[in-house]
Every structure is written in C-alpha cells, then in structure tokens.
C-alpha cells in the first residue's frame, strides 16, 4: 500500500510574470511555466512515481500544467477530475490589478493584510480561510479516499488552494500557513499512514 499524494502548483503564468493578482481569472502559462511543468513531470518520473488518478482545478493554467506533467510521465490518458473547489483563492476586486497599483490605491499595509492574513478577505474575494472552507471538504471526500485505496494521486492546483491542503496535511495553524510559500512547478510528495497521517514528505526541488 503506497498511499502517495503529490501536490504541484501550476507553472509560472502570464499574470505571475506581470505581477498581477490572478485569482479566478484564466491566463495561460509562460514559456517558463511550460518548462516548469515539464520539469516537474521529469522529476516525478525520475523518482519512480506514477499515478492512478489526477485532480485539478477549473482553471487552464493548472490543467495545462497537469497535462504537460503527465506527458513527461508517459501517462497522457490518465483519469482526470476537474473541479472549481481546487481553484485559486478569489481575489475579488484585486483580480487583474498590478500589485503595485493595488498598493497605490489601498495602501501598502492594507494590501499586505489582504495578501498575508489568514482570515481577512479582499473586497469581493476570499481569505485563505474561505479558500480552505471549499478545499478541505473536497480533499477529505474526493482526494483522500483515492489516496487511501493505495494508489498514486496527483493534484495540480494553485498556491492558495494547495496551501489549504498543506495546512491540513502538515497540521499548521493559520498563522503558520500564511508564511509558507509553495513554489511553481515543484512537486511535494506525501506518503500517508493507514490513519491518514503523514508518514513522509519530500519536496522534489531541482
């Protein structure tokens, strides 16, 4: 019984590059993002990991990352479930804005609070806690059962939806998770015990 769960944040997007708040908007990957996704697949293959099912969000940057990763794995036909529960945090009125412009409009301190607090949402958007409120039930009811069947499961999603999963897996507090960065295109490999606790965690950095 392997019980392997791999989390991968999508490769760099066009809006990451432009320093824009992205949220539920749907930009594509940059050339660098494409290479990050392929590199993630190569690292997973080199580690001897293969998957029985994949989960991703309703946004194309995560879906494309998954597709490129699986191509490198030689698993292009893998069963894949797409769900908005795994979408990035909704940045509301900040979506599409340059981060510097947002600071000019609302002030450095206020934008920092929106970005780095656990439970303060931006106007019209979600806090990290709100994001967790849709990610955690999905993880518990859809993703975790497939891991516990003994297979390999990969989740290609976003910085904040994956933060919510890492928070649950690593037993972190709200204060601890907001300072935890999740790099683009770097697989995080969990092996779970029979009681769903984490037996081992490995970050496959280049």
Phi-psi region of 150 (alpha: psi -120 to 50; beta: other; left: phi over 0): left
Active site residue 88: yes
Active-site residue, selected from the candidate residues 10, 72, 126, 158: 10
Active-site residue, selected from the candidate residues 2, 35, 72, 88: 88
- Compute the distance between CA of residue 150 and CA of residue 17 in angstroms, rounded to an integer: 38
Burial of 21 (0-12, 13-18, 19+ CB in 10 A): buried
**DSSP-assigned letter for residue 196:** S
The single residue listed with the structure tokens 């990957």 is 29
The single residue listed with the structure tokens 């590059």 is 17
Active site residue 10: yes
- Compute the distance between CA of residue 26 and CA of residue 14 in angstroms, rounded to an integer: 10
* Closest to 181 (Cα-Cα) out of 163, 169, 193, 195: 163
- Compute the distance between CA of residue 24 and CA of residue 153 in angstroms, rounded to an integer: 24
Return the structure tokens found at 46. Answer: 């080199």
Active site amino acids: 10, 88
């Amino acid at each position: 019984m392997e019980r392997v769960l791999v989390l991968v944040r999508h490769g760099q997007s066009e809006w990451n590059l432009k320093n824009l708040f992205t949220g539920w908007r749907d930009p594509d990957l940059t050339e660098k993002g494409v290479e990050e996704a392929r590199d993630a697949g190569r690292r997973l293959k080199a580690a001897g990991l293969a998957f029985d099912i994949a989960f991703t969000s309703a946004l194309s940057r995560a879906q494309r990352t998954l597709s490129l990763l699986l191509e490198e794995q030689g698993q292009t036909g893998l069963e894949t479930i797409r769900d908005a529960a795994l979408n990035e945090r909704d940045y509301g009125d900040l979506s599409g804005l340059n981060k510097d412009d947002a600071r000019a409009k609302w002030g450095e301190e206020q934008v920092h609070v929106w970005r780095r607090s656990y439970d303060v949402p931006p106007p019209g958007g979600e806090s990290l806690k709100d994001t967790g409120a849709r990610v955690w039930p999905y993880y518990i009811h859809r993703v975790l059962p497939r891991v516990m069947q003994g297979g390999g499961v990969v989740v290609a999603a976003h910085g904040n939806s994956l933060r919510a999963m890492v928070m649950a897996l690593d037993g972190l507090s709200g204060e601890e998770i907001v300072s935890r960065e999740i790099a683009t295109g770097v697989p995080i490999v969990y092996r779970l015990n029979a009681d769903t606790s984490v037996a081992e965690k490995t970050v496959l950095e280049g």
